[in-house]
Amino acid sequence: MRIDILTVVPELLESPLGHSIVGRAIKKGLVEIHVHNLRKHGIGPRANVDDYCYGGDAGMVMMVEPVDRMIAELKAEREYDEVIYLSPDGERLTQAISNELSLKENLILLCGHYKGIDQRIREHLVSREISVGDYVVSGGEIPAALLADSIIRLIPGALTDETSALSDSFQDGLLSPPVYTRPADYKGWKVPEVLLSGNPKLIREWQDEQALERTRLLRPEMLGESAD
């Protein structure tokens, strides 16, 4: 898989994409991540990528030309499955979306900044818009890193134990059950006996019950229920 990220602040992406599971996936050759500074195609001697908003609203707007040039440059080299704009009013990111995108070969992630991006970018250059939640952050870089992480960890070989991702929250429409590790008794805080039983059938039944109970308690809307 290859992910190209377009941004005006590439420094914000250096640490999140260079370590842990994502960093190891890059080293293994499972994924390529290329961060592109949109100022490469900025306008004028100062390489401007934004300008004042038509209509007099406050805030600067990312211009269409630098984004169009960068996307055209990338598309001249390969085909892309999606050009995704990280936007607070896009479709809400879910595990199902991450699963779907993990099967793609080439993705472009566009990070907004300032007041936002020229609407013509959204109408003519972007194929999909994704939101990481109903709130606004300073730019799309952190949401892009979050989206990339959620995709890359699903690529076979990215996790040391590939079955781990299958038991993540939301994979089966439920939250994950509680997990424990050594010691079995700490200050009298004990691990449930069933997890020490060595009986896979009983353990699985307990995990299923706990996942359902936790989902009903914490996220009842996932079960089509209303909170009390």
- Mean pLDDT over the full length of the chain: 93
Q: Mean pLDDT check: name the lowest of 133-137, 170-174, 183-187.
A: 170-174
Supply the pLDDT for residue 163. Answer: 47
In the chain the beta strands, taken as DSSP E runs, fall at 2-7, 32-37, 50-52, 60-62, 82-92, 106-111, 116-117, 128-131, 185-186, 189-190
Report d(CA 3, CA 18) in Å as an integer. 14
Q: What does the pLDDT look like over 42-78, one tens digit per residue?
A: 999 999 999 999 998 888 999 999 999 999 999 999 9
Looking at residue 227, its pLDDT comes to 64
Q: What is the reported pLDDT for 25? A: 96
Q: Which stretch of DSSP H or E encloses residue 193?
A: none
DSSP secondary structure letters along the chain: -EEEEEES-GGGGTTTTTSHHHHHHHHTTS-EEEEEEGGGG-BTTTTB-EEEPTTS-SSEEE-HHHHHHHHHHHHTTS--SEEEEEEEEEEEP-HHHHHHHTT-SEEEEEEPBTTEE-HHHHHHT-SEEEESSSS--SBSHHHHHHHHHHHHTTSTTSSSSTTGGGGSTTTTSSPPPP---S-SEETTEE--GGGGS--HHHHHHHHHHHHHHHHHHH-GGGGT----
Report the C-alpha gap between 193 and 25 in whole angstroms.
Answer: 36
Residue 225's pLDDT band (boundaries 50, 70, 90)? confident
Other CB atoms within 10 A of residue 145 CB: 23
Residue 217 has pLDDT above 80, yes or no: yes
Domains of the chain: 2-152 (3.40.1280.10), 170-223 (1.10.1270.20)
Q: What is the DSSP letter of 178?
A: P
Whose CA is closest to 11, among 151, 133, 145, 136? 145
What pLDDT does residue 169 have? 53
pLDDT-derived band at 164 (thresholds 50, 70, 90) equals low
pLDDT of 10 > 50? The answer is yes
- Using a pLDDT cut of 90, give the percent of the chain over it: 85
> How far is Cα 205 from Cα 92, in angstroms, rounded to an integer?
31
Output the pLDDT for position 172.
Answer: 73
72-113 pLDDT tens trace: 999 999 999 999 999 999 999 999 999 999 999 999 999 999
pLDDT of residue 188: 97
Residue with tokens 């842990």: 20
The percentage of residues in the chain with a pLDDT greater than 70, rounded to a whole number, is 94
Grouping H, G, I as helix, E, B as strand and the rest as coil, residue 15 is: coil
Distance CA 153, CA 136 (A): 25
Q: What share of the chain is helix, strand, coil (3-state, %, to 5)?
A: 35, 20, 40
